[in-house]
């Protein structure tokens, strides 16, 4: 792995763990095993490196979500697979944690990929929900955008609940609750 790649991976890990302010260039260099000259050869500033790390996180989150959302099965099964995918619940979402970092929120360049990624996720979930409505899996009155936002919000909120409790149990409880609300009732399935 080259120095640039090590710097990005190190910045990702430290941003997730410490936030922007708590992540110093020196800490990134030490974790990456590179010197200051190498860092500034590849990146003009800490902000420039942080942007590359945030964009990498965004790509990884999109790939992670897309694995389930474009996978086999019904719309409900794909949403279920997305919410039940193995994840580091107690660590939370890399980008979700950055939404509470005042330095990230205040910097339009650093905030943009965070906002765009969550926008992409809501849009992608909405596409799957539309497919489910078209196939009769979901109630025809279901509001697509609101439901997509609720699913994305449940995942992020589930992380918070799990971190507060120190166990992933609240996350999976929230997932089961959301899935129960989405699942067509047996009466509707049987035409009753």
Give the C-alpha separation, 113 to 131, whole Å: 27
pLDDT in tens, 35-65: 989 899 999 999 999 999 999 999 999 999 9
Report whether pLDDT(98) > 50.
yes
Mapped onto helix, strand or coil, the DSSP state of residue 107 is coil
Give the C-alpha separation, 164 to 72, whole Å: 34
Burial 104-121 (b: 16+ CB within 10 A, else e): beeeeebbebbeebbebb
Neighbours of 2 (CB within 10 A): 9
CA Rg value for the chain = 19
Q: Structural domain boundaries of the chain?
A: 57-189
pLDDT at residue 166, rounded to an integer: 96
- CA 63 to each of CA 9, 35, 70, 129: distance values in angstroms, whole numbers, following the listed order: 17, 31, 10, 19
Answer with the residue of higher pLDDT: 95 or 186: 95
DSSP tag of 185 = P
pLDDT in tens, 1-15: 699 999 999 999 999
Q: Which CATH class is domain 57-189?
A: mainly alpha
pLDDT in tens, 119-144: 999 999 999 999 999 999 999 899 99
Mean pLDDT of the chain: 92
pLDDT at residue 185, rounded to an integer: 55
Residue 187's pLDDT band, with cuts at 50, 70 and 90, is very low
Q: What is the pTM of this model?
A: 0.89
pLDDT at residue 183, rounded to an integer: 86
Q: What is the mean pLDDT of residues 168-188?
A: 84
């Amino acid at each position: 792995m080259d120095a640039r790649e090590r710097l990005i991976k190190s910045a990702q890990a430290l941003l997730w763990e410490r936030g922007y302010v708590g992540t110093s260039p020196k800490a990134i260099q030490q974790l990456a095993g590179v010197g200051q000259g190498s860092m500034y050869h590849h990146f003009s500033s800490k902000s420039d490196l942080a942007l590359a790390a945030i964009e990498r996180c965004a790509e990884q989150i999109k790939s992670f979500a897309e694995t389930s959302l474009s996978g086999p099965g019904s719309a409900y099964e794909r949403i279920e697979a997305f919410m039940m995918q193995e994840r580091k619940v107690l660590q939370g979402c890399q980008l979700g944690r950055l939404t509470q970092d005042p330095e990230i929120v205040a910097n339009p360049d650093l905030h943009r990929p965070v906002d765009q990624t969550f926008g992409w996720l809501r849009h992608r979930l909405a596409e799957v929900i539309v497919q489910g409505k078209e196939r009769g899996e979901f109630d025809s009155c279901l509001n697509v955008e609101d439901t997509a936002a609720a699913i994305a919000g449940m995942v992020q909120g589930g992380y918070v609940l799990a971190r507060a409790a120190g166990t992933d149990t609240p996350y999976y409880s929230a997932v089961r609750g959301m899935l129960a609300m989405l699942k067509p009732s047996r009466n509707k399935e049987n035409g009753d």
